[in-house]
Amino acid sequence: MLKNSLKTSLLIAASLTTISGTAHADVNAALQNICNIVQSDDKGELRKKMKKVQSDYRLKLQDYYAGVSCSGNSLIRTAMLSNAVETGTLLIKKMPKKDLAKPENDGKTLTAWVSENGLDASPIAAVLKDRI
C-alpha cells in the first residue's frame, strides 16, 4: 500500500515538473518577437501580444518584464533607443509605478539610464518622469 502511494506521488511530481517546463517554454515562444514589435512601434500588436500572454498564461507585464532582454536592454529602454513613442508610452503606462523606479538588471534605474544616455528630451522620457 505504501509503495503504491509513493509511486503515485512520484508520478504526479514528475508530471507537474514536465507541465511547468512546457508552460515556461510556451511563454518564451509567445514572447519571442516582442522586441521586434516594440522596435517597430506597433502599439496594436504589442497590446494584442500582452493580452494573449495574460489570457493564456495569466501573466501581466510586470511578471515577465525583467526576463525579456532585447540586445541587452529592457523593453522600455529598447523603445527609447528605437524612438518607438507609442509602444514605449504603453509599456510605461502598463507597468506599476514602483517597478518603474526599481533598478533594472544592470543596477541602474530607468531615469538614471535616460540621463546617462542623453535621452532626456525623448517624449518617452517625459512620460516616464510624469508617471514616476
Residue 10 pLDDT more than 90?
Answer: no
DSSP for 61-125?
A: HHHHGGG--BTTB-HHHHHHHTT-HHHHHHHHHHS-HHHHTS--TTS--HHHHHHHTT-TTSHHH
Give this prediction's pTM. Answer: 0.76
Gap between the Cα atoms of 11 and 97, Å rounded? 43
Give pLDDT, residue 24.
Answer: 53
Q: Within its chain, how far is the Cα of 80 from the centroid?
A: 15
Residue ranges per structural domain of the chain: 1-30, 34-131
Give pLDDT, residue 25.
Answer: 56
- Give 43's pLDDT tier (boundaries 50, 70, 90): very high
Residue 94 pLDDT more than 60?
Answer: yes
Contact call for residues 78 and 70 (beta carbons, < 8 A)? yes
What share of the chain has pLDDT > 90, as a percent? Answer: 45
